[in-house]
Amino acid sequence: MDEIQSLLHGFAVALSFKNFALMFVGVILGVIIGVLPGLGGANGVAILLPLTFAMAQTPGGTTSAIILLSCIYWGALFGGAITSILFNIPGEPWSVATTFDGYPLGQKGRAGEALTAAFTSSFVGALVAVVVITFLSPIVARFALAFGPPEFFAVYLLTFCAFVGTSKEPVFKTLASMMLGFALASVGSDPVTGTLRLTFGSTHMLAGFDFLIAVIGLFGIGEILLTLEEGLAFKGASAKINFRVVLETWRRLPTYWKTSMRSSAVGCFMGIVPGGATPASFMSYGVARRFSKDGEKFGTGQLEGVVAPETAAHAAGTSALLPMLTLGVPGSPTAAVLLGGLLIWGLQPGPLLFVEQKDFVWGLIASMYLGNIAGLIVVLTCVPLFAAILRIPFSVIAPIIMVVCAIGAYTVHNAIFDVWMMVVFGVTGYVFKKLSYPLAPMVLAIVLGDRAESSFRQAMLVSQGELNVFFSNALVGSMTALSLFLLLWPIVSAAIAWVRGKRSG
């Protein structure tokens, strides 16, 4: 078992005092970010990314930096549950499904139980996903070492077609939003020949659009504008978790093991295939409602209805790092931001990472185990503290969050133009969200656009313009075929529905 040995080595890396302290700092920051409206995993990590530039230059610093950022992500995943259960405000999109049963539980005075169940099942989901990462990622990476440009393009194609095939939003809105991302990515110099494209003579646009700015604007400013519509006041249940409630809830949780396993499976799958944590949580809630014997009571405050979405969201959020590390293709916007971090620190994500940067990879994987344990301890003990953050009046916290976003946007490239772009992206995010244009495919397209294009063009150079290079062997052929199937799935499913409708009507 090579993996076990590598993992033990990883624990040795992750367990230095500095890294251990960073884990707690990251988790606490992450929970705060998750609790605050307008700050979430993706933009929280994006804003804090520039702070790690200096850290990453010290020896072993990249490992510390990724541990800090990934723990912020774990913390944000935990934090979303707090606001959902206590205030009926999903702090994160993936905790929307948690409000369905979590908030009623809170209203019945059982907030403690709901929170314990949410945190514990988040932890379980994450743990399953980390185990999957530990054993699956070396295999995927070894496999991917043999990838050439056609294979990489097929992976990108699969990523984006999966968005079209699995998206809940209207297909043409998904397409428009995704292609807008690709268009924004192609602004600046052409990755192969260096020709300037779509800059229209503006010097600001020479460098292109950085997706970090897009993430901060779309998810940060956009989210605050949406929150504003709901009014300025938060009203919520009070939060107290005492040790007895925790133990009692833990005694009851094993009865939901089936839900837990199903949700973990749904989560891991949706995380690795770029579906993301949000659809995973909804899907898992739906599946749990269908299979549970208390299915019809869902929505009135069932503990099981908290377990299902939280397990899946955390499993998906965690396993989204697997394709990011092994293939360089992130499964979620936050994973995309972490990937951006790796690139800035001078690491090339992809299969070679597992060969050349063993300390980094296994340190990160080991820190996922430890970071989630740290997260569970922090959230179980400090809930009242985090809930108190939400009692800070919105008219104070909102401008401060805006200032944080502006500083974050500025520090990416030290450009004031980026702050303006952030505001523009903020308005875009607000409008798109309201009209159900999905944001995740757009962000991933901005991140991957250049690389998808280069791999396509490199593949074309090799094959001298023959498109059949994408079907030249079993591997690339099956990926391309699967992509096309997913791309056409909305048409197929619409046709099936139409035929069925005709038959019954």
Partner 1 sequence: MSAGSGGRAAFSHKTAEIAVAALLLLLGAIAIFDSARLGFAWGEDGPQPGYFPFYVALIICVSSLVNLVRALVAGPGKSKTFVEIGQLKLVLAVLVPTAIYAALIGWVGIYVASVLFVGFFMRWLGKYPWWKVLAVSAGNSVVFFLIFEIWFVIPLPKGPIEALLGLN
Q: Which residues bind partner 1 (CB under 8 A)?
A: 50-51, 54, 170, 172-173, 175-176, 179-180, 182-183, 186, 190, 192-193, 195, 197-198, 200, 221, 224-225, 228-232, 393, 395-396, 398-400, 402-403, 406-407, 410-411, 414, 416, 419-420, 422-423, 426-427, 430-432, 434-435, 437, 453, 456-457, 460-461, 464-465
Q: What angle do CA 308, 75, 380 make, to 5 degrees?
A: 70
In a 13 Å sphere around the CA of 473, the CA atoms on its Cβ side amount to 7
Q: How far is CA 317 from CA 323, 388, 445, in A?
A: 12, 26, 19
User: Which DSSP category does 199 fall into?
Assistant: -
Q: Diameter of the chain by CA atoms?
A: 70
Pairing verdict, β 196-197 and 188-189: antiparallel
Q: Closest approach of Cβ 103 to partner 1, in Å?
A: 16
Q: Closest approach of Cβ 495 to partner 1, in Å?
A: 17
Q: Closest approach of Cβ 98 to partner 1, in Å?
A: 19
112 or 208: CB nearest partner 1: 208
Token pair of 81 as six digits: 């549950």
274 or 426: CB nearest partner 1: 426
Closest to 418 measured CA to CA, from 179, 221, 145: 221
369 or 430: CB nearest partner 1: 430
Q: Closest approach of Cβ 491 to partner 1, in Å?
A: 13
Residue type, 385: L
175 or 272: CB nearest partner 1: 175
Closest to 322 measured CA to CA, from 370, 271, 270: 271
- Residue whose structure tokens are 């798109």: 432
Q: Is 167 left (phi over 0), alpha (psi -120 to 50) or beta?
A: beta
Cβ 71 vs Cβ 371: under 8 Å:
yes
194 or 254: CB nearest partner 1: 194
342 or 409: CB nearest partner 1: 409
Q: Closest approach of Cβ 431 to partner 1, in Å?
A: 6
Q: Closest approach of Cβ 457 to partner 1, in Å?
A: 5
17 or 200: CB nearest partner 1: 200
204 or 258: CB nearest partner 1: 204
Closest to 83 measured CA to CA, from 397, 373, 427: 397
Q: Closest approach of Cβ 324 to partner 1, in Å?
A: 23
Q: Closest approach of Cβ 85 to partner 1, in Å?
A: 21
Q: What angle do CA 469, 470, 475 make, to 5 degrees?
A: 115
Distance CA 393, CA 405 (A): 18
